[in-house]
Structure 1
Amino acid sequence: MSSFLKLPIGLALATTIAVFSGCSEQKKPQAVEVLRPVKVAEIAAADEGRSLVYSGAVRARKQMDLGFRVAGKITERLVDVGERVKPGTVLARLDAVDLELAVRRAEADLASADKQVEISALARRRAENLASKNIAPQAELEQSVLSADQALSARQSALSALEQARNQVAYAELKSDVTGIVTGVSAEAGQVVSAGAPVISVAVDGEKEIEIAVPENDIAQFRPGKAVKASFWSYRNLTLDGTVREVSGSANTQSRTFAVRVSLPDDEKLRLGMTGMVTARTDGEVAAFSVPLAAVTEKDGKKIVWIVDKAKGTVHSRVVTVSGFADDGVRIAEGVKPGETVVAAGTQFMAEDMKVKVPGAATAEAQDSTQAAPQGADRS
């Protein structure tokens, strides 16, 4: 009786253990492969060399600082910045009272000189008459001739002084000699200025250019005649072919940069003062591919990048040849091709054939799982 009862209980226990072990095997989680997310960059087409980009302002090739040819007090200024002027346009005037008084004095001096010429001429004729009759000595005749000549010279001097005084009065008006635009005003009405001091600045119509400041480490790349490209913030789609016209022979004492002037072709869209960007290519450099600085690392003493195999979702290293640096990263001469994808950050964590999570692929997986979810729900 006891043995009969023990047998079913043992079988029951064995059956229970088998059931629980089966459940535990079904509930045992499967190992999930970890994908390391990475930041990637796609290799673009090779460039022609390192780009040198500097900004400057559009200016007229010729700009004149106009000033009075005489000193005096400004009584009125007739133009403002931005106004167009042409030859003969009066820009400003001086107080000409003293200058007009000088004209009157010169006129009086000329009148006096004219009288002196008449008197010396009468004396000369009288001396010649007396000398012809042997009444007066020859020395008296010579003296009268000399006095007459001196009177003529004094009259010519007085005439020149009068013309000069009249010119001084004309110089009291500052007139433009060119066609252009007023770009600056350096003096106002009521201010006393010296002769030649700048009063009005005028940008002459015609050729325009951009002046840029280039540091000494890049100035060797600029020379007169070098072809460059010019773009403008005001017109994103406007790009002009420029030419380096002039390179300063000395650096600015404060900024330690060299002034470079780039001539621009005539275009109706260009306005003085517009901000322009001058782009130049370095000379003597081979074509190369630009990658982020963090994409290049070192392995076994060689420069490498990690290439992403999008189909397999893995990475593998590749030796590359670095040719230099670009404004946005490193330039690679050999080792990569356009269209390939490289790891742009976190290269220190990479290993050969490591599974990675590429941003584009992750998005695709998420979309697939989203589309698959309703189907699974229907089956349940």
Structure 2
Amino acid sequence: MHSFSVFDRYSRFLALAALFGAIGAGASACTEAKTEAVETIRPVKVVEIASADAGRELVYSGAVRARTEMSLGFRVPGKIIERLVDVGDRVKPGDVLARIDATDYELAVQTAEANLDAAKKQAETAGFTLKRAQQLFQRKFSSQAELDAATLGYQQATASRDAAFSALRQTTNQVSYAQLKADRSGIVTAVSADRGQVVGTGTPVLAVAADGEKEVQIAVPETDISHFRRDQAIEVGFWTDDRLRLDGKVREVAGSADPQSRTFSVRVSLPDDPRVLLGMTATVRAKVEAAPRSASVPLAALADRDGKPIVWVVDQRTATVHARDVAVADFTPDGVRVAQGLQPGDLVVAAGTQFMTENLKVKLPDDRSAASADAVAVR
């Protein structure tokens, strides 16, 4: 049998302790290496930059009308005794459209003729008197005063004759005004007075749409009137034929709003096309380009690097964050408006930017729909 001394047992204890120590150290080293091998992945809250508006289309409906619409009325008052046209009838220059009773005007012509004849006789008599007064004055049988009186009488008589002649012309014109005539070719679009009605001077009786250029009139609210300008190209479609498309042009934009509807009248001229008829319903389409837009992000998303503003943008392919320089437009109650540096679709870290480092691994939230609403494109 072997006997072990105290020294031998102590030596074995030290050996075993050293062995267990080496094993523990190795295990500890493996644990630290394993811990270092695990990357830090930090969950983040993000906002998504909304896509910018590519533009919109303004669509308004209106009716085709003639550029020139004439509201016709008699130039003298009277009772209408005849209307010769109806709505839809075509007229040409010189056509008689309606008549009023011209009896009183014809009597006035007869009176004016009689007055003119009398004025002519008086002027003729005054002329003889002046001629005799001149002869007597030359022979010194009459005074200068008598000659002057004869001259004045002749001048007054000729003036009365001229006034009577003008009165005759005026009354003759009034007889002709008893007939309402068309002065341009067109189509009757409205009848405002009929036979038996007494109308005053200028009272609308008929409306005629003159032949020639046609246009579409639309009513535009004040929110969109700034998008219409004179000579602007406009596409015009028609309900009667979807294939009929014409290139119109803005001819006139009203300078003030209608007091009732608070809309502005816009007239769009149309090219000459026989398929376009008066009264047809037209659709006016105007393209409106989107204005340059900036992105709004929460204030917590803004960070600073070397005295310059930055945001941390998430690369979705590698799930890492990267700093990006931005240009701040201004500050709003809801956050920061960024003028440059962000694009639609970018994911911006919205909180905890002080913990971000370049190429840091991050974990995105499972549902970004609510977060995406935090950043919107604004004008």
**TM bracket (short chain):** 0.5 to 0.7
Provide Cα deviations, 1:209-246, integer angstroms capped at 9, x if missing partner.
10001111111111111111100101111111111111
Per the alignment, residue 105 of structure 2 pairs with: 99
Structure-2 change in CA distance of 1:47 and 1:60 (3 Å): farther
Matched, 1:165 2:171: yes
Q: 1:242 aligns with which of 245, 248, 253?
A: 248
* Residues 37-52 of structure 1 aligned to structure 2 (within 5 Å): 49-52=55-58
* Residues 54-203 of structure 1 aligned to structure 2 (within 5 Å): 54-203=60-209
Per the alignment, residue 282 of structure 1 pairs with: 288
CA apart distance, 1:55: 0.3
Q: Which runs of 5+ in 2 are unaligned?
A: 1-51, 294-300, 302-342, 346-365, 368-379
- Work out whether residues 48 and 281 of structure 1, in 8 Å CA contact, stay in contact via their aligned partners in 2: no
Per the alignment, residue 225 of structure 1 pairs with: 231
Provide Cα deviations, 1:21-48, integer angstroms capped at 9, x if missing partner.
xxxxxxxxxxxxxxxxxxxxxxxxx996
Q: Secondary structure of 1:169's match?
A: helix
- Work out whether residues 110 and 159 of structure 1, in 8 Å CA contact, stay in contact via their aligned partners in 2: yes
- Work out whether residues 48 and 286 of structure 1, in 8 Å CA contact, stay in contact via their aligned partners in 2: no
Q: Which runs of 5+ in 1 are unaligned?
A: 1-45, 288-300, 302-332, 336-350, 353-380
Per the alignment, residue 271 of structure 2 pairs with: 265
- Work out whether residues 239 and 282 of structure 2, in 8 Å CA contact, stay in contact via their aligned partners in 1: yes
Question: d(CA) in 2 for partners of 1:123 and 1:92?
Answer: 50
RMSD across aligned positions (CA): 2.1
* Residues 303-318 of structure 1 aligned to structure 2 (within 5 Å): none
- Work out whether residues 77 and 200 of structure 2, in 8 Å CA contact, stay in contact via their aligned partners in 1: yes
- Work out whether residues 64 and 202 of structure 1, in 8 Å CA contact, stay in contact via their aligned partners in 2: yes
- Work out whether residues 54 and 290 of structure 2, in 8 Å CA contact, stay in contact via their aligned partners in 1: no
CA apart distance, 1:162: 0.3
Question: d(CA) in 2 for partners of 1:183 and 1:83?
Answer: 8
Structure-2 change in CA distance of 1:158 and 1:263 (3 Å): same
- Work out whether residues 244 and 261 of structure 1, in 8 Å CA contact, stay in contact via their aligned partners in 2: yes
CA apart distance, 1:104: 0.6
Report the residue type matching 2:97 in the other structure. Answer: L
Q: Secondary structure of 1:238's match?
A: strand
Question: d(CA) in 1 for partners of 2:165 and 2:226?
Answer: 59
CA apart distance, 1:145: 1.1
Q: Secondary structure of 2:242's match?
A: coil
Per the alignment, residue 208 of structure 1 pairs with: 214
CA apart distance, 1:198: 1.2
Report the residue type matching 2:77 in the other structure. Answer: A
- Work out whether residues 59 and 286 of structure 2, in 8 Å CA contact, stay in contact via their aligned partners in 1: yes
- Work out whether residues 56 and 290 of structure 2, in 8 Å CA contact, stay in contact via their aligned partners in 1: no
Report the residue type matching 2:157 in the other structure. Answer: A
Question: d(CA) in 2 for partners of 1:96 and 1:47?
Answer: 68
Q: Secondary structure of 2:275's match?
A: coil
Provide Cα deviations, 1:68-111, integer angstroms capped at 9, x if missing partner.
11111111110001010010010000100000010011001001
- Work out whether residues 99 and 165 of structure 1, in 8 Å CA contact, stay in contact via their aligned partners in 2: yes
- Work out whether residues 186 and 199 of structure 1, in 8 Å CA contact, stay in contact via their aligned partners in 2: yes
Q: How many residues end up aligned between the 2 structures?
A: 249
CA apart distance, 1:132: 2.0
Matched, 1:256 2:262: yes
Report the residue type matching 1:111 in the other structure. Answer: D
Per the alignment, residue 316 of structure 1 pairs with: none
- Work out whether residues 221 and 283 of structure 1, in 8 Å CA contact, stay in contact via their aligned partners in 2: no
Question: d(CA) in 1 for partners of 2:196 and 2:75?
Answer: 17
- Work out whether residues 119 and 160 of structure 2, in 8 Å CA contact, stay in contact via their aligned partners in 1: yes
Question: d(CA) in 2 for partners of 1:283 and 1:88?
Answer: 50
Question: d(CA) in 2 for partners of 1:149 and 1:283?
Answer: 77
Question: d(CA) in 1 for partners of 2:238 and 2:200?
Answer: 40
CA apart distance, 1:284: 4.2
> Larger Rg: 1 or 2?
2
* Residues 298-337 of structure 1 aligned to structure 2 (within 5 Å): 334=344
Per the alignment, residue 53 of structure 1 pairs with: 59
